[in-house]
Structure 1
Amino acid sequence: MARIEDVRPLGAELERSYTVYVRGRLKFRVGQIVYVAFSPDESVMGFAFPKEERAALVLSRGHVFHLPAASDMRFHWVHAELAALDPTEAREIVVDAWRVVVPRKLSVAYDVTHPDGPGGVRSP
């Protein structure tokens, strides 16, 4: 079961990323682009995700992932129930969302400096 404390440090540790509170909600940004946002009660994590892949993600694990509100479907965005994720998976989602909004060279540099992935767990 993941908690916000499992992913909060990434908001400041990932290159060009910083955390902000907007109307009481924690968000991770690169520049002015939000790539992760939490619900006010911190139970749901919204994150940047390719539009063309999100339907498959939601269908694969509907108890964990769901689409944003109809008014937000134009954005590259998906929601996840934080408690339904394990901490490693939650960190991987944050890093993957960050990759959506940063230049490829930063993503590649992250892979070089973090060969075991976010949280020090080597990917299979």
Structure 2
Amino acid sequence: MCGAVVPVVTSGTVRGWALELPGAHEEETWGAATFRVGAKIFAVLRAEDGTASVKANPADQAELIAGDPATYAVASHVGRFGWVRVTLSSADPVELRSVVLEAWRRTAPKRLQLALPDDLRALLPRR
């Protein structure tokens, strides 16, 4: 009997998701890849330990951690602002892509948000 293959999220997956967003670019900071819109960071990738930190608000942070404490945790240094640390190997790809998109939306100016393609807009959580 064969089980369903669950896709594993890798650092390359997260990098691709981040860089496909309007106005996003990658910058090396603190020995990690940071993903930004302008000078503002919306995600940090630590490929060497298989984690990412993603911008969220405190309510979303609490919901993510409560829903999957093996994957999500309060991020160090910026967790008090709602950021979450994500263990990539156990992350659900659909959920994490939505979390990355929402982090970008929290960071991007309105003019860039309007440039988001419809297929990506459909992946954003409803507000």
Q: Mark yes or no: TM-score above 0.5.
A: yes
Whole-Å separation in 2 of the counterparts to 1:102 and 1:66: 24
Alignment of 1:1-124 (within 5 A): 1-39=8-46, 41-69=48-76, 71-104=77-110, 106-110=112-116, 112=118, 114=120, 117=123
Whole-Å separation in 1 of the counterparts to 2:78 and 2:118: 34
- CA RMSD between the two structures: 2.4
Q: Is the 8 A contact 1:3 1:87 kept in 2?
A: no
CA 65–10 in structure 1, closer or farther in 2 if over 3 Å, else same = same
The one-letter code sitting in structure 2 at the alignment partner of 1:35 is F
* Aligned pairs, number: 117
CA 105–74 in structure 1, closer or farther in 2 if over 3 Å, else same = same
Partner of 1:122: none
CA 100–115 in structure 1, closer or farther in 2 if over 3 Å, else same = closer
Other structure's SS at 2:19 match: helix
Other structure's SS at 1:117 match: coil
Identical-pair percentage: 23
Whole-Å separation in 2 of the counterparts to 1:50 and 1:104: 18
**TM-score, normalised relative to structure 2:** 0.75
Other structure's SS at 1:92 match: helix
**TM-score, normalised relative to structure 1:** 0.77
CA drift of 1:111 comes to 5.3
Other structure's SS at 1:63 match: coil
Whole-Å separation in 2 of the counterparts to 1:42 and 1:34: 20
Unaligned runs of 5+ in 2: 1-7
Q: Is the 8 A contact 1:44 1:81 kept in 2?
A: yes
